[in-house]
Amino acid sequence: MGNGNRQKWPAVLFFLTSGFLFFGCVLYLWAGATNPEYYWQTATSQVDGAKDTVSGVKKRMMLAKDKGVRIEKERIVYRGRRKGMLQLDLFILQLDPHYGYPYLVPEKEARKGFRIGSHQFRVLAVSDEKISLKFL
C-alpha cells in the first residue's frame, strides 16, 4: 500500500518543477523583459558630437584610434593602419548615423591628399594609434 505513494513522488516533483519554470518564464517575459528600443537607441556621442565637433574651417585636426570627429553633417573615425593602408570610416549622419562606410587609403597617396566624404585632407603624421590631418 505504501508502495503506490512512493511511485507518485517523482511525477509530482517533475510537474511542480515544470510548472514553476513555465510560470517563471511567463513572469519574466511579462514583467522583466527590457524594451527592445533600449538596445537600438542612438548613442548621443554618435549623433550629437558636441565634444568632438569641428566648427568652421580649421587647418589641422588629430584623430585617435577608434575615436571620431564630426565635421558638419559627417563623422570620420580613424580605425588604424594595416599593410600600408589607412582605415577610416565615414558616417553620413543624415543618411544613416549608425553605419560607417569604410575607406581604405594607401598611406603614400594620403600624404599627397585624399578625399573622404565632402572634404579634402592630407596626412601630416600617422601611427597605429593616431593620425594628424590637414584640411585642403
Q: Which residues pair with 104 in a beta bridge?
A: 87
- Model confidence at 118, pLDDT cuts 50, 70, 90, reads confident
User: In the chain, how many domains are there?
Assistant: 2
* Domain co-membership, 16 together with 64: no
pTM score of the predicted model: 0.57
**CA 7 to chain CA mean position, Å:** 56
**Confidence tier at 14 by pLDDT (50, 70, 90):** very high
Q: Which residue has the higher pLDDT, 95 or 20?
A: 20
- The pLDDT assigned to 44 comes to 47
- Asked if 49 and 108 sit in the same domain, the reply is yes
* pLDDT for residue 130 is more than 70: yes
pLDDT at residue 50 in the model: 41
Q: Are residues 55 and 116 in the same domain?
A: yes
CA nearest to 70, candidates 87, 100, 49: 49
Residue 70 belongs to a domain: yes
| Residue 19 in domain | yes
Q: Give the residue numbers spanning the domain of 25.
A: 2-33
Sequence-distant (≥ 6) Cβ neighbours of residue 79 within 8 angstroms: 65, 66, 87, 88, 89, 102
Structural domain includes residue 38: no
Q: State mean pLDDT over 53-68.
A: 73
Residue 22 has pLDDT above 90, yes or no: yes
22 and 48 inside one domain: no
